[in-house]
Amino acid sequence: MIHKQRIPPYPLRMPLEVREWYEEESNKSGRSLNAEIVKILKDRMNRARGQRKNAA
């Protein structure tokens, strides 16, 4: 049996207009709200890492 590590929840407060935008984007892409936020954060992280590599 494979045991997955449980990631503790992280309560994130955001302005209503931001949450509504993310909800719209998640509906368009067919992702959950959480998956959409994680995707956008990972995209941003990868861009930042790429910029650091190019600056070195």
pLDDT per position as a tens digit, 1-38: 567 788 898 999 999 999 999 999 999 999 999 999 99
Q: What pLDDT, on a 0 to 100 scale, did the predictor assign at position 52?
A: 76
**pLDDT(49) > 70:** yes
The reply to whether 36 falls in a domain is yes
Cα–Cα dist 25/20, whole Å: 9
The reply to whether 23 falls in a domain is yes
The reply to whether 6 falls in a domain is no
The reply to whether 4 falls in a domain is no
Stretch 30-55: mean pLDDT: 91
Instruction: Tell me the three-class secondary structure of the chain, residue by residue.
Output: CCCCCCCCCCCCCCCHHHHHHHHHHHHHHCCCHHHHHHHHHHHHHHHHHHHHHHHC
**Would you say 23 and 32 are in contact if contact means Cβ atoms under 8 Å apart?**
no
- Rounded to whole angstroms, the maximal C-alpha distance in the chain is 45
Domain span holding position 20: 16-54
